[in-house]
């Protein structure tokens, strides 16, 4: 389909801003998770073609996991820095 014709390109689907605040990263994750929940409800209600829904999940899930991993790293680094300052 035209919407997926550029999949497999060598550009990342998402580039995380290294200056982004943890709160902003987690907020983005919450919005993506809500969209995945909406898509799951579409499946449950049989309101969409299964291939379309699967493609939408795939398009959102990998970047969501990447941002959560990045946010976790930020939180761990902040915690380690805080521990060094107080220890």
Q: What are the DSSP calls for 44-87, one per residue?
A: HTT-S-HHHHHHHHHHHHHHHHHHHHHHHHHHHHHHHHHHHHH-
Read off the pLDDT of residues 50-83 as tens digits, 9 standing for 90 and up.
777 778 777 888 888 888 888 888 888 888 887 7
Looking at residue 8, what is its pLDDT? 55
**Res 2 pLDDT > 50:** no
Read off the pLDDT of residues 18-32 as tens digits, 9 standing for 90 and up.
888 888 888 888 888
Whole-model pTM? 0.58
């Amino acid at each position: 389909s035209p919407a997926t014709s550029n999949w497999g390109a060598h550009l990342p689907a998402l580039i995380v801003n290294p200056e982004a605040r943890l709160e902003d990263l987690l907020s983005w994750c919450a919005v993506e998770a809500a969209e995945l929940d909406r898509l799951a409800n579409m499946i449950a209600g049989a309101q969409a073609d299964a291939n379309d829904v699967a493609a939408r999940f795939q398009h959102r899930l990998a970047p969501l996991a990447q941002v959560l991993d990045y946010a976790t790293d930020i939180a761990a680094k902040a915690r380690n820095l805080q521990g060094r300052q107080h220890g």
